A and B are shown apart, each in its own frame.
Chain A
Amino acid sequence: MAIANPNPSNPAPVPKNPNIQSPEYRGVTNDLRYTPVRSLLTNIAGSPWELAEYYSQYLNADNALAAQNVNRQAVYQQYMRIKRMEVMVTSGAAATQDVTSKEMSVQGSAVTYPGIIPNDGDMFVSAAWDGRRLIYTVSNVERLSIMKDTCYRFDFKVVSYDDEVRYADLQSKVVKDTIFVKDMLYTNQQPLLVDAEYAFYKEGAQFVLDSQERYLKDFVNLRFQTLLVPDQPLSTYDPYIAEAVLRLIDGTVLPQKNKTKLLNVDTGFPYEIQTMWDGLLDLNGNNRDGWAVCLGCLESGYFNHGPRFGSIRWSGIEQVYHALANVDFAGTLPSEFYLTEFGIGQPVMASSLAPLRQYGQGRTLITTLNVDVTAEEPTTPVIPGSPPLIHHVSTDNYYVFTKWFYTQSEGQSVLEVETNKALAGITLSRTHLMELIKDSYKWTYLDRFYYLPVLWVLVRTSLAEM
C-alpha cells in the first residue's frame, strides 16, 4: 500500500498554551504597592455636585461613541443610568452668550470619583439654578492617573432644558439602572448599585443602626450595667453574647455601649471557652468542633474569684449561662488533661442543662420562608412545608441555635442556613435577609436577644459582598 495516509499516527503536537488574557506585558517583577481608593477620596479637587441622572453609554467592542441622537433608535444607542451620581466640579458652569447669534453656552469641567469611567458623549441631567433641569453632554474625558483606581476629568456643556422629547428619548434608551452610593468607595467597593442592591443597602444599613440602638435600650440592665438574658425567672448573665455584642457595636456611633461592662466569670478552669460567637465574629467555621454547644445555668456563687477581681459572685446577678454547666463539656483537649493537671474533675456545680425559658406564649408563632418574593408582606405561614425563618432560642438544649445548625443537617431555619453560609464564606441571600429583617420585629425578647446580633453580622457581611 503506497497510498498516502492523510492521518499518520504521528504524535499529536503539543498544544501551545492559549493566550486568553490580553497580551499586556508581563514580567517577573511584581509591584506590590496598591493605593486604595479611599486614600484618594480626600484628595480629589473640586466641590461636590450631585447629578440627578447620569447616562453612561452602554458599549460593546465595535460600538462608537456618540452624544445623544434624539432620532436614533434605542436599539442603536443604549445607556446605563446612574442616579444621584456625585462629581467634583473643578470649574463651575459659566454661562455666556454669543453676541452675534444670541445663543447661550454653559460649560464647565468636573472630576469623577473612582469606579466610574465617563466617556465622550455621555449625557447627564442636573438641576439648573432656577429649579428647572438641564441636559448636559460630556466631552474631553481624560484619565488622571495610570493607577488602577483613578479619577477622570471631563468637560460638560449644556445641550438644552430637559424638554419632553430629549428627556423621554434618554429614558427609553436606558437598559440598566444603577444608583451611585459614595459610601461604597470607603470600603473599596463598586459604587454603582442596581435597584435591588440599593434597596438592601438602604434597608440593611438602617436596620443595623436602629436595631443596635434599640438592643442596648432593651437589654442593658442599668442596675447591673451589663446585658442580662431577658424573660428569665432569675437574673441571668451570658458572658459569651455579652462579649460578642460589645464587639459588634461601635461606641463612637452608640455611646450608650460605653456604659456597659463585661463581668468576670473566671473559674478554676484555666482555658478559653469558645462558642459559635467566636466563629461568627471571625466569619470562620473551621473550628466549630471546638465550640461549646450545650450550656446550662450555674449559680453565680460557683465563680469564686474574690471581690477585688470583680467576680460575678458579688455582683448580685443570680446565675450564669455557662459552658461549664455541661458535665460532658470538654474543651478542645481530652478531659483527662484537665483532670490531672488541675484536679477539678469533680462534677461541676451544674444545676442542669435546662434550656432558657421562653416567655410570651402568644407571640411564639414562627414565620416560614416566603417563597413568593413578589409579595409585600410575608404571610404566616406561606407554605406548610417551607422552612421556618427562625427556630425559637432554646428549642432544644443547644446554645442559641438548634442541634441542626451545629450538625449542619436537615431541619435548619433560614437564619441558621444563612449563618452556616456566612461561616463557610458563601454569598448570602439578600432576599432571605430582607425577610428576616422584616420578621425580626415580631420575635420574642429571648429570640431578639440572641438572634439580632447574628442578623447584624449577616447583614453587614452581605453589604460588604456588593
Chain B
Amino acid sequence: MPKVTRQLPEGYEAISRPVAVDMIKAIVRHLGLEGRTQIQFNGDTVTAPQPGSRLEDQNNNASAPRFDSHQKVEAMLSEDFMDREVLATAITQKNNPVVFLDRPLAVSMKPVYHMVEGTLSFTARFPDQVSAEQWKKRMLRHISQGRNEMYHEVHYQYPIPKEFIAILHEIHRLRENNAGYGEDLGTWLRACFNPRITTLTTMAGTEPLLAFDEVQQAVIGWFDWELPPKEDKSSEPGATWTAQFDYKYQYEQITGMVLDYPIIVHNQFLDECWRGRNTPYELDRRPAYMSMAKHFYQAMRGFKGGYVETMEGIVYPDFDEWRPLRVPSNTLRVMSLMIQVDPTDPSLVLNLNDLKHWHINPVVLDYMLANRQWLTKHHFTPLLVAMYIDNEPMEERLITVDENGDVRTTTPMNERHQYHFVLHALIDLTQLSSDRADALRRSPEACLLFLQSLDPRLAPNGLLPAVIGGRMVSRPGWLKTLAHIRTSNPIYQNAPEMGRFTVGTYLLTTQNKELAHGHR
C-alpha cells in the first residue's frame, strides 16, 4: 500500500495570498477605512501595477495617474510556520480528513495541514491630520471595548498535485480493464471526491487544474499593539499623515497531500513506475568498510546459519507494504504473501509445498499437514494459516487445507478484492488448547523446534524439556519451558504483535539467483 506525499503545485497564489487578501479587506473594514481607500498589496516584484493595466480598471475608468496624497493602506505579508507545531503535525496518520475515498479499492487522499502564523505589516496613509487622528481614536475605543482581536473566515482553493491525478488515472484504467464497472474516469472521480472538488482554469478556459474549495472559520487574528500607533507627519511634502502597525493571524495551511493506494487493482499489478521498489536497506550486501577484516567480521556477525531473521516475517513481493490491521492475539507473522487470483481456478490460494523462494521446514510441514483440520483455527495450532480480504481477516471456516498442502477458499475469490495469505506463529504456547498441546507433545521433533524458535537460548542453557521414549515430550518439562519463555526477553513488540527471537527458524530460505539480483 504505497503512501505518497507530495507538495501542492501552488501555495502562495492559491492559499497564502487569497487568505491575506481576505484578512486585509476585513481589517480595512474594521479600521473604518473602506470605500475611499486604495489597498496596495504588492507581490513578487514589490511594485504596484500601473493604474489602468488591470482588468477591473478597464471598466472603472481608473487609468488616471495616482498621486501621493490619497488615502492608502499598504500591506506586506510574511508567513512563518510555527516551530512548536511542526514535529507534532500529522502527515500520513489518520488525523487529517479524507477528501478522496474509494473504499473497495482502498484508495484515499487527504491533505496535510501545518499551523502558520501570518504577519501583515500595514502602512496607512491619511490625506490629512484630522482623518489620521479620528482613525486613532476609533481604534482606541475598539481596544477599550475588547475588540482588538477578530475572528475571520478565509476562503481559498487548493490544487491537487498532478502526480496524484496521473496515479488515479492509472488506477481507474486497471479498475475498468479487468472485472470493471463500466464507469468513465469522470464518473468515478466524482463519486469518490468530496463534493467540494472543482476545476480551475485560466480566463480562456485552458490549463484545467483540479482543486478543492475550502473555507476556514474562526481563524483568529489580532492587532500586534498595546495602543494604536502614533500617527506621523509623512516625510512627503503635502499634508499626509501615516501610521504603521502589524496584524497577526494563525491558520492551518495546506502544505501537501497524501495519497494511499494499493499496488494491485482488480488482480493486476500497477506498473513499476507507480510504486516503489523499496526493498530494505541491508548492510551486508556490500562491503561496508574499506577494510577486508572489518567487512568479514561484519558479515560473520550477521550470519544466522541460513535462517531468516526478521521482525515482520517474510513478505512477498518484498515491495508490498500491506500490513494487516488486525491479527489474532499472541501471534506473530511469519510470512505474508500477496495473492493474485487465478481466473481459471479462483478458489486456489497456494500450495504449502511451493512458497516461492522459501520452504517450510519438512518437520514442521509434516506436522502441519498431519494436523491440517486445525491449521486455520486460532488457539488450536502453533502455526496458523489465515487469509485477509483487503484489510479484514477472512472467516476461518472459509479456508481449507487438503492433504497435498493446497490451501483453498470455500467460495471463489473475487478479482475485485485484494487477498493476502498470512502464516501466523502462536507465540504464547500456553494459549494452545490442552488437546492440541498434548498432540504437539506427541510430535517431539516438531515440538522442540517450536520451543527452540521461540527462544534459541533454550538448548544452550539446557532448558529444553525431556523427550520420553523418543515419542513424547514430558508434560512437566513442557510446562516448565513455557513458563521460562514467558519470562525471557522479547526482542520486538508493538500493539498487536510481539516478536520472539528468530521466529524465522521455521522457515528455511533458498536463496536463488533471482532473489540475489533483486537485492543487487
Contacts and interface: CB of A to CB of B under 8 A. Distances in A.
Interface centre among A66, A76, A139, A175, by most B CB within 10 Å? A76
B45 A65 contact: yes
A60 B55 contact: yes
Interface in A58-84: 58-67, 69, 71-78
Contacts of B63: 117, 148
B207 A73 contact: yes
Interface string A338-372: 00000000000000000000000000000000000
B235 interface: no
Interface string A120-148: 11000000000000000001010100101
B65 A146 contact: yes
Nearest to B211: A75
A73 B44 contact: no
A276 B53 CA distance: 44
Interface in A205-250: none
B42 A73 contact: no
B17 interface: yes
Interface stretch (B197-205, B377-385, B419-427, B436-444): B197-205
A409 interface: no
B202 A143 contact: no
A119 interface: yes
Given A66-B43, A72-B10, A72-B13, A143 B203 contact: no
Contacts of B41: 62, 64
A172 B204 CA distance: 11
Interface in B32-53: 36, 41-45, 47-50, 52-53
Given A22-B60, A72-B10, A76-B14, A117 B42 contact: no
A65 B47 contact: yes
B159 interface: yes
A22 B35 CA distance: 9
B61 interface: yes
B45 A67 contact: yes
Contacts of A23: 36
Interface string B1-24: 000000001100110011001000
A118 interface: yes
A152 interface: yes
A173 B207 CA distance: 8
Given A59-B54, A118-B50, A64 B206 contact: no
Interface centre among B36, B55, B200, B204, by most A CB within 10 Å? B204
B54 A60 contact: yes
B64 interface: yes
A75 B159 CA distance: 10
A59 B203 contact: no
Given A65-B42, A75-B201, A119 B209 contact: no
B272 interface: no
A61 B54 contact: yes
Nearest to B41: A64
Contacts of A75: 10, 159, 200-202, 207, 209
B56 interface: yes
Contact of B50 (A21, A69, A76, A117): A117
A376 interface: no
Interface residues of A, number: 41
Contacts of A71: 9
Question: Main SS of chain B's interface residues?
Answer: loop
B82 interface: no
Nearest to A58: B203
B206 A63 contact: no
Nearest to B9: A73
Contact of B47 (A120, A172, A174, A175): A120
A176 interface: yes
B50 A74 contact: no
Given A58-B55, A61-B56, A66-B44, A76 B49 contact: no
A117 B51 CA distance: 9
Interface centre among B9, B17, B52, B207, by most A CB within 10 Å? B207
A208 B202 CA distance: 39
Contacts, number: 107
A225 B232 CA distance: 82
B53 A119 contact: yes
A143 B207 contact: no
Contacts of B18: 62
A24 interface: yes
Contacts of A175: 202-204, 206
Interface centre among B48, B50, B206, by most A CB within 10 Å? B50
A179 B42 CA distance: 29
Contact of A152 (B44, B50, B201, B209): B50
A143 B45 contact: no
Contacts of A120: 45, 47
Interface centre among A56, A61, A173, by most B CB within 10 Å? A61
B12 to A, nearest CB: 8
A74 B53 contact: no
Nearest to A74: B207
Interface in A1-31: 21-24
Contacts of B17: 62, 64
B90 interface: no
Nearest to B203: A175
B64 A59 contact: no
Interface centre among B49, B201, B209, by most A CB within 10 Å? B49
A73 B45 contact: no
A21 B159 CA distance: 36
Nearest to A19: B35
B45 A76 contact: no
Contact of A74 (B14, B47, B64, B202): B202
Contacts of A67: 44-45
B165 to A, nearest CB: 13
A65 B61 contact: no
B498 to A, nearest CB: 48
B76 to A, nearest CB: 11
A378 B202 CA distance: 35
B296 to A, nearest CB: 49
Contact of A64 (B10, B42, B61): B42
Interface in B180-234: 200-204, 206-207, 209
Contacts of A121: 44-45
A71 B14 CA distance: 13
Contacts of A174: 204
Contacts of A60: 54-56
Interface string A73-114: 111111000000000000000000000000000000000000
Given A121-B45, A176-B203, 10 more contacts: A58-B55, A58-B203, A64-B17, A64-B45, A119-B50, A119-B53, A152-B50, A172-B207, A175-B203, A175-B206
21 contacts: A21-B61, A22-B60, A57-B49, A60-B55, A61-B56, A62-B41, A63-B43, A63-B54, A64-B41, A64-B43, A72-B13, A73-B209, A74-B202, A75-B202, A75-B209, A77-B13, A143-B50, A143-B65, A175-B202, A175-B206, A176-B204
Q: 10 closest A-B pairs (Cβ-Cβ)?
A: A64-B43, A66-B44, A74-B207, A76-B13, A175-B204, A117-B53, A120-B45, A65-B45, A120-B47, A59-B54
Interface of B: 9-10, 13-14, 17-18, 21, 36, 41-45, 47-50, 52-56, 60-65, 159, 200-204, 206-207, 209
